[in-house]
Amino acid sequence: EVQLVESGGGLVQPGGSLRLSCAASGFTFSSYWMSWVRQAPGKGLEWVANIKQDGSEKYYVDSVKGRFTISRDNAKNSLYLQMNSLRAEDTAVYYCARDSDLGYCSGGSCYSYGWFDPWGQGTLVTVSS
């Protein structure tokens, strides 16, 4: 069974840092792009970041660029999200999601373009003083 399990969420003060983890099982982790998607309380979904199979390409939504870093360890079948300089508006449930095994390369960069399946159960990050 394909499974994604997030951990590392919690309460943090504005300006603080937090590192989320996602443990993958049931599929060949190193064959897939992986993404983080978040959902603020009572709000919709927002794609946050994704990372190529070998970790060589990373992309972020504008609102987290320079503050969040996505990474992965294929030997441990794990995905990470390092979140620094946290703001109140970063408060959300953060989901780990398997992205595509598809991609294309153009102009020296490679991109994923697929769908998200499956998703983890999510981990809640609350930024508040």
Partner 1 sequence: QSALTQPASVSGSPGQSITISCTGTSSDVGSYNLVSWYQQHPGKAPKLMIYEGSKRPSGVSNRFSGSKSGNTASLTISGLQAEDEADYYCCSYAGSSRRVFGGGTKLTVL
- Interacting residue ranges for partner 1, rule: CB under 8 A: 33, 35, 37, 44-47, 50, 57, 59, 61-62, 95, 109, 111-122
In terms of Cβ atoms closer than 10 Å to its own Cβ (0-12, 13-18, 19+), residue 39 is: middle
Q: How far is the CB of 50 from partner 1 (least distance, A)?
A: 6
Distance CA 78, CA 25 (A): 9
Q: How far is the CB of 76 from partner 1 (least distance, A)?
A: 22
Q: CB-wise, 80 or 116, nearer to partner 1?
A: 116
Radius of gyration of the chain (CA): 14
Q: CB-wise, 104 or 129, nearer to partner 1?
A: 104
Q: How far is the CB of 33 from partner 1 (least distance, A)?
A: 8
Q: CB-wise, 14 or 113, nearer to partner 1?
A: 113
Q: How far is the CB of 39 from partner 1 (least distance, A)?
A: 9
| Three-state secondary structure call for residue 98 | strand
Q: CB-wise, 28 or 109, nearer to partner 1?
A: 109
- Token output for 24: 């993958």
Distance CA 70, CA 20 (A): 9
**Opening angle at CA 26, ends 20 and 29, nearest 5:** 55
